[in-house]
Amino acid sequence: MFEWSKLSGVKWMDAWEDRFHGNPNFVIEVLKGGKSARVRVFCATEKEAKGIVEQFGGSVRRVQHAEWTNPVNTVQPLLKIRDVFGVTAEADPKKLKKLREQNPGRDILSIPAEMAFGTGDHATTSTCLRLLVDIGRDRKPGWSIADLGTGTGLLVIAAKKVGAGEAYACDFDPFSVKATADNLERNGVTDVTLEEKDVLKWKPRKKYNVVVANLFSTILIQAFPVMAKLLKPGGEIVISGILASQAWDVFTAAAEHGFGFPTVIRKGKWVTARGGWMADLVEK
């Protein structure tokens, strides 16, 4: 494992997020003082890391195994989702107990920052979480879900907590799959089928009531044929990871596969949407 890194002013954070959006191994940390940030990308090969240097400068170093398995976590304030969840990067049992005592009625989800993975505070993930809470309230318990590009597993964990029954989660990145497995156990969630899989090459044999895909816009557009095979009649789809400038292309591609999105939420430059089969929406 190799790490590419570069120091940058915080004013350029949005630009870095745009450049590396869709890369699950991208991390940006605000340094003490709040004026500078360290941008990092973890790469499987040195060649990959040096390719980033050629584009953006910076430096490359080999990551020791101990660093990967024992990352240094920077714990952010509790992320509150509706009146249901509190999401934290905290993993210490005593501190988690205190958080639960301070937030009665909330289910505290512990999602430690596994170096290359976030903890739900990004606009796309937090909005998906809120929509999943709404879906859980609208549906009878036991609905099924497929989480495409699961990352840390946060969305499928939340879905199980608000009433999902059969659950499937996948990601193309083996480190992501490992992080999800750890987080499922950490949060006491069972009965989730978890696989390392490239969504674009998948030929699903099951259908689900809910499909959630927090992916880069270009991947979403290519993945709609797969989602069309995954979603049951009367089902719902939540998509995110969409830059506002690319939303029209995404929704146009979705319509070509029969999907419509009556609920569209813009948070900053990011767009998240909740919808389903257009035929079902017309009937409603």
Give the DSSP letter string of 188-228: T---EEEEE--GGG------EEEEEEE--HHHHHHHHHHHH
Comparing 64-78, 120-134, 235-249, which segment has the lowest mean pLDDT?
A: 64-78
pLDDT for the residue 25: 77
- Kindly provide the b/e burial profile for residues 204-237, where b requires at least 16 CB atoms within 10 angstroms of the residue's own CB: beeebbbbbbbbbbebbbebbebbbebbbeebbb
In a domain, 94, yes or no: no
CA nearest 155: which of 213, 201, 100, 104? 213
State whether 196 and 270 are in the same domain. yes
Q: What's the pLDDT score for residue 174?
A: 82
- Confirm whether 89 is domain-assigned: no
Report the candidate in 14, 13, 2, 4 with the shortest Cα–Cα distance to residue 56.
Answer: 4
Residue 260 has pLDDT above 90, yes or no: yes
> Tell me, what amino acid is at 138?
D
Which residues have C-beta within 8 Å of that of residue 251, sequence separation ≥ 6? 261, 273
**Is 19 in the same domain as 122?**
no
Q: How many domains does the chain have?
A: 2
pLDDT at 117: 43
Q: Final residue of a domain: which of 42, 69, 96? A: 69
Residue 11's pLDDT band, with cuts at 50, 70 and 90, is confident
Q: Let me know whether 148 and 227 are in one domain.
A: yes
Please give the average per-residue pLDDT across 10-32, as a whole number: 73
| H-helix or E-strand spanning residue 110 | strand 107-110
130/34 same-domain check: no
User: Would you say residue 101 lies in a domain?
Assistant: no
277 pairs with which residues across the strands?
A: 259
CATH code, domain with 207: 3.40.50.150
* Mean pLDDT within 44-57: 86
Q: Which residues pair with 196 in a beta bridge?
A: 171
108 in any annotated domain: no
- Check residue 168 and give its pLDDT: 98
Per-residue pLDDT, 28: 79
pLDDT of residue 247: 94
**96 lies in some domain:** no
- Write down the mean pLDDT value for the chain: 87
Evaluate whether residue 83 is within a structural domain.
no
Q: For the segment 123-182, what is each residue's pLDDT rounded down to a tens digit?
A: 788 899 999 999 999 999 999 999 999 988 999 999 999 999 999 999 987 878 888 999
Residue 21 has pLDDT above 80, yes or no: no
Asked if residue 216 has pLDDT above 90, the reply is: no
Q: What CATH number is associated with residue 24?
A: 3.30.70
Judgement on whether residues 41 and 136 belong to the same structural domain of the protein: no
* Predicted local confidence at residue 31, as pLDDT: 76
Same domain membership, residue 241 and residue 169? yes
111 located within any domain: no
Instruction: Determine whether 45 is exposed, middle or buried from the number of CB atoms within 10 Å of its CB (0-12, 13-18, 19+).
Output: exposed
pLDDT on residue 183: 93
Residue 268 forms part of a structural domain: yes
Average confidence (pLDDT) over 65-93: 74
What mean pLDDT do residues 113-118 have? 48
Mean pLDDT of 32-56: 83
> What range defines the domain where residue 56 resides?
2-69
Residue 54, pLDDT score: 84
Residue 55's H or E segment, with its range, is helix 46-56
In the chain, the percentage of residues whose pLDDT exceeds 70 is 89
